[in-house]
C-alpha cells in the first residue's frame, strides 16, 4: 500500500536519519521524499510503500506515532489515494 | 509526488479545521421482514439489521486509521417501518422500535433511522399506527430516529398529517420531559423527503433503494471558514470560487472513503451527500462562514443572500467531485448543533422568522430549535405547514425538527449533550393558528407539479 507520511517538528540535527532508519528497520520502502524548513519548522513529506514490510499498516502506524511522541515529532501516515483525489482533478 | 504545500494543506484541514467524514450510513431494506405477527416481524428486523451491519463499525474504524480521516458516525437507515409493519396484526409498533434500538446497540452504531411513515397524500392503517407509536418509541429507546413526510411538490400538503404531527411532537416532548424534550431531537417532519439521506435524524432507506447501500455524508464548515479568511474584502465572484474549490476537495475525500467502504463491506455505493454539517465545536460552524463573508452576526440583513451563495457554491464544487451526489446536499443550519447559530440567537440577531427565510435557500429546514414548552400543538403544526409550503413551492426538501422544551421559556437554555448540542429557547409568534389547522384536508399541489 502506498502511503503519504508527514513529519513536522522544531528543526534540529538528525530528524531525517531517525525517521528513515525506523522505516528501514520495519522494511518500509521510501519512494520519494521532500523536505524543507519553514520559519524554523522542519517539514518533511514522504511517499512510502508499506507492502515491502512484513508488518501490518496498523503496526507501522503505531510504531511511527510512538516514536514521534518519544522524539517530539508530529508524524502522520495516510493512504496516498486521499491526497491524489483531493488535489488532482 | 504531490507538493509539500498540498499535502500539508490536507493534514491541516484534518488536524486543525475539523475536516471529517460525518457519517457512513448503511441503508438496509426490511421488506422481507414483514410478518403477520408483530413480535416475529420485530425479531426478523433485529436479526437482519445485525447480520447486514455486523462489520459496519469495525470497517469504518479501519478506514479511519488507514486514511487518517476521522469518521464521526457510523449509522443505519432502514425501510420506513410503517411499510414493513403494515401487515402486522398488533397496534403498538414500539415493539419494532425496541428491536431497532437493540440491533443498533449490538452493531455499535450511534443512530438508526427509519421509524418513519410517508403520508404526503394520505394515511394507510400502518402509517396511523406508526405515527401513534412515535412518542412512546422515542421515549423508550435511545438510538432510534423517526421521520414523517407530510408533503411533496407532486402531492401537496397533507394538513391532517401536519395537525397530527403538532400533537405528536407535544406528546413526545412530554414523555421525555425529564430530558428537556430530547425525544423531539430524534423526530423530523419533512416535505419532499429524500430516499438516500445519510444524515440523522431524517435518514430512511427509500422504497426505490437496493437491498443494501452505503451512503456517505461529508462535513467541513471549518475548512470553508478557513479558506474564506484568505479572501476577505474580495468580490463575490472570488468568494463563490473559493467555496467551490474547497467543496470540491471535501467531497473528493468523501468519495474516496465511500468507495473504500463500499468495496470492503461488499455493498454497492449509493451517494455522497455533500453537505456542510456543523457541530457544536468551536471552528465547525456554518454561521461563522456567513459572518466571514462580512456579516456582523448571522441573522442580520444579508444572511439569506450569504447562505444562498454558500449553498449553491457547495453544490457546484461538490458535484464534479463525486460520481453520484444525493441526500440533502447543501448547508445545514441546525441551531443547537452550531456554536455560531447559538451565539447569534443569544445576541438577539437571529430569530425564528429569519431562520424560516434562510430555509428557502439552504438544504434543510427549521432544525434543532427549542421553543417554549407551553407552545400549543396548533402553533407547532402551523410552523410545520409554513416550512412544508416553502418546500412544496420551491421544489426542495424542507424539514422541521423542533423541541417544545417542557417547563422552559424564552431565554432559558436546553442541553441535549454531544453532537445534538444545546439550544437557547426561541420566541414564537403568540397569535393563534388554531382555526387554520383545524380545517383538515389537503393543500393542493402547486401548478408547477404538472410538468409532464
Of B2, B15, B320, the CB nearest to A83: B2
More confident residue, B54 or A89: B54
Paired with A77 in beta bridges are: A5
**Euclidean distance between CA atoms B376 and B373, whole angstroms:** 8
Q: Are residues B79 and B138 in the same domain?
A: yes
Domain that holds residue B300: 217-441
Residue B186 DSSP symbol: G
Domain assignment present for B201: no
Report pLDDT digits (tens) over B344-393.
999 999 999 999 999 999 988 999 999 999 999 999 999 999 999 999 99
Helices B159-175 and B377-394 cross at an angle (nearest 10°) of 130
Interface test with A, best of B4, B7, B260, B261 (most A CBs within 10 A): B7
Query: CATH code at B88?
Result: 3.20.70.20
Write down the mean pLDDT value for chain B: 95
**Euclidean distance between CA atoms B365 and B400, whole angstroms:** 6
**Euclidean distance between CA atoms B184 and A71, whole angstroms:** 50
What does the buried/exposed string (b/e) look like for B52-76 if buried means 16 or more CB atoms within 10 Å of the residue's CB? bbeebbebbebbbebbbbebbbbbb
Q: Is the pLDDT of residue B259 over 70?
A: yes
Q: Is the pLDDT of residue B76 over 70?
A: yes
**Euclidean distance between CA atoms B440 and B216, whole angstroms:** 38
Count of CB atoms situated within 10 Å of the CB of A18: 16
H/E element holding A47?
A: strand A41-49
Of A1, A4, A57, the CB nearest to B7: A4
pLDDT grade, residue A40 (50/70/90)?
confident
More confident residue, B17 or A69: A69
Q: Are residues B173 and B117 in the same domain?
A: yes
- Chain B environment of A43 (Cβ under 8 Å): 4, 8
Q: Is the pLDDT of residue B192 over 90?
A: yes
Q: Are residues B181 and B273 in the same domain?
A: no
Domain assignment present for A39: yes
Q: Are residues B185 and B251 in the same domain?
A: no
Q: Are residues B118 and B178 in the same domain?
A: yes
> Which pLDDT does position B263 carry in this prediction?
97
**Euclidean distance between CA atoms B87 and B126, whole angstroms:** 8
Domain assignment present for B365: yes
∠ CA(B179), CA(B183), CA(B187), 5° rounding? Answer: 155
Q: Is the pLDDT of residue A69 over 90?
A: yes
Per the structure, how many domains does chain B have? 2
Q: Is the pLDDT of residue B441 over 90?
A: yes
Cross-chain Cβ contact A34/B256 below 8 Å: no
Q: Under a CB-based contact definition with an 8 Å cutoff, are residues B67 and A82 in contact?
A: yes
Q: Is the pLDDT of residue B297 over 90?
A: yes
Grid coordinates standing for B333?
443550519
Residue B164 CB-half CA count within 13 A = 25
> Which pLDDT does position B3 carry in this prediction?
85
Q: Under a CB-based contact definition with an 8 Å cutoff, are residues A11 and A37 in contact?
A: yes
pLDDT-wise least confident of B106-110, B327-331, B439-443? B327-331
Domain that holds residue A15: 2-78
Query: CATH code at A37?
Result: 3.30.70.260
Domain assignment present for A88: no
Residue in chain B lying closest to A31 (CA): B1
Paired with B143 in beta bridges are: none
Domain assignment present for B227: yes
Query: What number is the average pLDDT over the span B71-99?
Result: 96
In sequence order, the 6+-apart residues with CB closer than 8 A to the CB of B441 are B159, B160
Q: Is the pLDDT of residue B324 over 90?
A: yes
Assign B83 to helix, strand or coil.
Answer: helix
In sequence order, the 6+-apart residues with CB closer than 8 A to the CB of A54 are A27
pLDDT grade, residue B1 (50/70/90)?
low
- Chain B environment of A4 (Cβ under 8 Å): 1-2, 7
Report pLDDT digits (tens) over B201-232.
999 999 999 999 999 999 889 999 999 999 99
Of A57, A76, A83, the CB nearest to B6: A83
**Euclidean distance between CA atoms B98 and B83, whole angstroms:** 17
Domain assignment present for A87: no
CA distances to B34, B89, B315, B360, B376 from B309, in Å:
45, 51, 10, 12, 35
Domain assignment present for A89: no
**Euclidean distance between CA atoms B92 and B89, whole angstroms:** 9
Query: What number is the average pLDDT over the span A62-87?
Result: 93
Q: Are residues B243 and B131 in the same domain?
A: no
Domain assignment present for A43: yes
Of A32, A34, A82, the CB nearest to B67: A82
Cross-chain Cβ contact A83/B252 below 8 Å: no
Domain assignment present for A84: no
Interface test with B, best of A65, A85, A88, A89 (most B CBs within 10 A): A85
> Which pLDDT does position A38 carry in this prediction?
82
> Which pLDDT does position B110 carry in this prediction?
95
Q: Is the pLDDT of residue B5 over 90?
A: no
Report pLDDT digits (tens) over B137-154.
999 999 999 999 999 999
Report pLDDT digits (tens) over A44-61.
999 999 999 999 999 999
**Euclidean distance between CA atoms B146 and B144, whole angstroms:** 7
Q: Are residues B359 and B250 in the same domain?
A: yes
Count of CB atoms situated within 10 Å of the CB of A19: 23
pLDDT grade, residue B97 (50/70/90)?
very high
**Euclidean distance between CA atoms B206 and B202, whole angstroms:** 12
Assign A70 to helix, strand or coil.
Answer: helix
pLDDT grade, residue B282 (50/70/90)?
confident
> Which pLDDT does position B241 carry in this prediction?
97
Q: What is the pTM of this model?
A: 0.93
Q: What is the DSSP string of B271-295?
A: EEE--B---SSTT--HHHHHHHTT-
**B438: buried, middle or exposed (CB in 10 Å: 19+, 13-18, 0-12)?**
exposed
Query: Smallest CA–CA separation between B66 and chain A, in Å?
Result: 6
Q: Under a CB-based contact definition with an 8 Å cutoff, are residues B145 and B112 in contact?
A: yes
Q: Are residues B388 and B290 in the same domain?
A: yes
Domain assignment present for A85: no
Residue in chain B lying closest to A5 (CA): B7
The residue with cell 463499525 is B57
Write down the mean pLDDT value for chain A: 93
Domain assignment present for B396: yes
**Euclidean distance between CA atoms B339 and B421, whole angstroms:** 9
Domain assignment present for B173: yes
Residue B111 CB-half CA count within 13 A = 26
Using only the alpha carbons of chain B, give its radius of gyration: 21
Per the structure, how many domains does chain A have? 1
Q: Are residues B174 and B317 in the same domain?
A: no
Percent of chain A exceeding pLDDT 70 equals: 100
The residue with cell 440533502 is B328
Q: Are residues B265 and B400 in the same domain?
A: yes
**Which contacts of B394-398 are long-range, i.e. CB under 8 A and separated by 24 or more positions?**
B394/B360, B395/B153, B395/B192, B395/B448, B396/B192, B396/B363, B397/B190, B397/B191, B397/B192, B397/B193, B397/B194, B397/B328, B397/B363, B397/B364, B397/B365, B398/B190, B398/B191, B398/B192, B398/B359, B398/B364, B398/B365
Domain assignment present for B210: no
> Which pLDDT does position B213 carry in this prediction?
98
Q: Are residues B162 and B261 in the same domain?
A: no
**Euclidean distance between CA atoms B30 and B34, whole angstroms:** 8
Q: Are residues B102 and B160 in the same domain?
A: yes
Domain assignment present for B3: no
Amino acid at each position: 500500500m502506498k502511503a503519504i507520511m508527514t513529519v513536522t517538528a522544531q528543526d534540529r540535527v538528525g530528524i531525517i536519519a531517525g525517521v528513515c532508519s525506523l522505516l528501514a528497520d520495519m522494511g518500509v520502502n521510501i519512494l520519494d521524499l521532500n523536505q524543507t524548513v519553514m520559519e524554523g519548522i522542519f517539514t518533511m513529506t514522504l511517499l512510502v510503500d508499506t507492502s515491502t514490510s512484513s508488518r501490518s499498516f496498523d503496526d507501522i502506524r503505531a510504531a511511527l506515532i510512538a516514536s514521534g511522541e518519544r522524539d517530539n515529532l508530529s508524524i502522520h501516515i495516510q493512504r496516498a489515494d486521499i491526497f491524489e483525489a483531493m488535489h488532482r482533478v | 509526488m504531490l507538493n509539500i504545500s498540498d499535502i500539508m494543506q490536507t493534514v491541516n484541514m484534518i488536524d486543525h479545521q475539523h475536516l471529517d467524514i460525518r457519517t457512513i450510513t448503511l441503508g438496509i431494506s426490511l421488506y422481507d421482514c414483514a410478518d403477520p405477527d408483530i413480535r416475529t416481524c420485530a425479531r426478523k428486523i433485529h436479526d437482519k439489521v445485525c447480520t447486514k451491519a455486523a462489520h459496519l463499525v469495525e470497517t469504518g474504524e479501519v478506514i479511519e486509521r488507514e486514511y487518517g480521516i476521522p469518521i464521526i458516525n457510523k449509522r443505519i437507515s432502514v425501510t420506513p417501518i410503517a411499510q414493513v409493519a403494515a401487515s402486522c396484526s398488533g397496534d403498538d409498533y414500539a415493539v419494532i422500535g425496541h428491536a431497532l434500538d437493540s440491533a443498533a446497540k449490538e452493531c455499535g452504531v450511534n443512530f438508526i433511522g427509519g421509524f418513519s411513515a410517508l403520508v404526503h397524500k394520505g394515511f394507510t392503517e400502518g402509517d396511523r399506527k406508526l405515527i401513534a407509536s412515535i412518542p412512546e418509541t422515542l421515549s423508550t429507546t435511545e438510538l432510534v430516529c423517526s421521520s414523517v413526510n407530510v408533503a411533496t411538490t407532486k402531492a401537496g400538503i397533507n394538513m391532517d398529517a401536519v395537525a397530527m404531527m403538532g400533537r405528536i411532537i407535544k406528546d413526545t416532548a412530554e414523555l421525555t420531559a425529564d430530558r428537556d424534550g430530547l425525544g423531539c431531537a430524534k423526530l423530523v417532519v419533512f416535505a419532499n423527503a429524500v430516499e438516500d439521506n445519510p444524515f440523522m435524524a431524517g435518514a430512511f432507506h427509500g422504497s426505490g433503494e437496493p437491498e443494501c447501500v452505503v451512503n456517505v455524508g461529508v462535513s467541513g464548515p471549518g475548512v470553508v471558514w478557513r479558506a474564506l479568511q484568505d479572501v476577505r474584502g474580495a468580490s463575490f465572484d472570488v468568494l463563490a470560487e473559493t467555496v467551490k474549490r474547497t467543496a470540491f476537495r471535501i467531497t473528493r475525500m468523501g468519495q474516496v472513503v465511500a468507495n473504500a467502504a463500499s468495496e470492503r463491506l461488499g455493498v454497492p455505493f449509493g451517494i455522497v451527500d455533500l453537505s456542510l454539517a456543523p457541530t457544536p465545536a468551536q471552528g465547525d460552524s456554518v454561521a461563522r462562514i456567513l459572518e466571514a463573508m462580512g456579516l456582523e452576526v448571522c441573522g442580520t440583513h444579508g444572511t439569506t443572500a450569504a447562505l444562498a451563495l454558500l449553498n449553491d457554491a457547495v453544490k457546484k464544487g461538490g458535484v464534479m467531485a463525486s460520481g453520484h451526489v444525493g441526500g440533502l446536499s447543501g448547508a445545514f443550519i441546525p441551531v443547537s448543533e452550531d456554536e455560531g447559530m447559538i451565539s447569534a440567537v443569544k445576541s438577539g440577531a437571529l430569530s425564528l422568522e429569519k431562520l424560516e427565510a434562510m430555509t428557502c435557500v439552504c438544504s434543510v429546514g427549521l432544525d434543532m430549535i427549542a421553543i417554549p414548552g407551553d407552545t400549543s400543538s396548533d402553533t407547532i403544526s402551523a410552523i410545520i405547514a409554513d416550512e412544508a409550503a416553502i418546500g412544496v413551492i420551491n421544489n426542495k426538501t424542507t424539514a422541521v425538527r423542533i423541541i417544545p422544551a417542557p417547563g422552559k421559556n424564552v431565554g432559558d437554555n436546553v442541553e441535549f449533550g454531544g453532537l445534538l448540542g444545546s439550544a437557547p429557547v426561541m420566541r414564537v409568534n403568540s397569535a393563534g393558528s388554531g382555526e387554520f389547522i383545524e380545517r383538515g384536508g389537503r393543500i393542493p399541489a402547486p401548478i408547477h407539479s404538472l410538468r409532464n
